[in-house]
Amino acid sequence: MRGKFVTLEGCEGVGKSTQLNMLKNYLETTRQPAVFTREPGGTPEAEAIRKIILDIDLSVSARVEALLFVAARVSHIENLLLPSINEGKLVISDRYIDSSFAYQGFARELGLDYVKEINKYAIENCLPDCTVFIDMDPEFSWRRQKGSVVSGDRMEKESISFHKKVYLGYDAVAKLYPERIIRIVPDIDKTVTHNRIIQALKSKGMIQ
Ligand code: TYD
């Protein structure tokens, strides 16, 4: 039996890591085994590519950046995502294809079609069953991020206008794929946000 593939998406500083930890705790407590992973990353070679992509001292062109994300994704899909999904597991990834749509397609202005095209052969039949988009005002999330980050990476050091474009990208993609992408408007209380995510994933039949 095919497993389930869930992804979490959102701009930097929206509390995605906190929500992933809370989801992990919930699944552990309710005895629902899950594989947690992230992009770029999830395999040794993809983690190595991640270091290049996020290296603050490298200047990487938009197209090279987009293709490096695809290369990392292929490794992730071949070695971790597809084998786990085919074994019937529940897989939860911190970011996936929608990050490429929002960051490279919109913020880097490569366009959605370009990003779709370069991901086509990489992704094949490995599309998420359900994506949680933490829909938070970029201005607010950006301030939170600035206040909490000590050493930024190459994406974090981008301007607020870049991060606003990322948000607009997510918004557009969520409108394009309303069956797959659930918008969760976060509350100031992280437990309220957590409960919203749990209810949404339950209603989509991803978890119990
Ligand atoms: P990370 O530190 O994991 O970000 P966060 O904690 O906000 O999730 O760094 C990953 C960065 O890479 C993040 O800025 C988003 C970006 N990214 C892309 O631009 N395109 C992609 O396809 C993916 C997967 C990530």
Structural domains in the chain, CATH included, are 4-203 (3.40.50.300)
DSSP state of 78: I
pLDDT of amino acid 137:
77
pTM: 0.96
Q: How close is the Cα of 1 to the center of ligand 1, in Å? A: 31
Nearest partner of 73 among 95, 93, 46, judged by Cα = 46
Average pLDDT for consecutive 10-residue bins of the chain (208 residues)? 97 94 98 98 98 96 98 98 98 98 98 98 93 90 62 86 96 98 96 98 98
The strand order across the sheet containing 34-38 reads: 34-38, 90-94, 4-10, 130-134, 181-184
Strands (E), the chain: 4-10, 34-38, 90-94, 130-134, 181-184
Residues in contact with ligand 1 by the CB-under-6-Å rule are 12, 16-17, 39-40, 54, 69, 94-95, 99-100, 103-104, 153, 155
What angle do helix axes 62-76 and 112-123 make, rounded to 10 degrees? 30
pLDDT of amino acid 143:
65
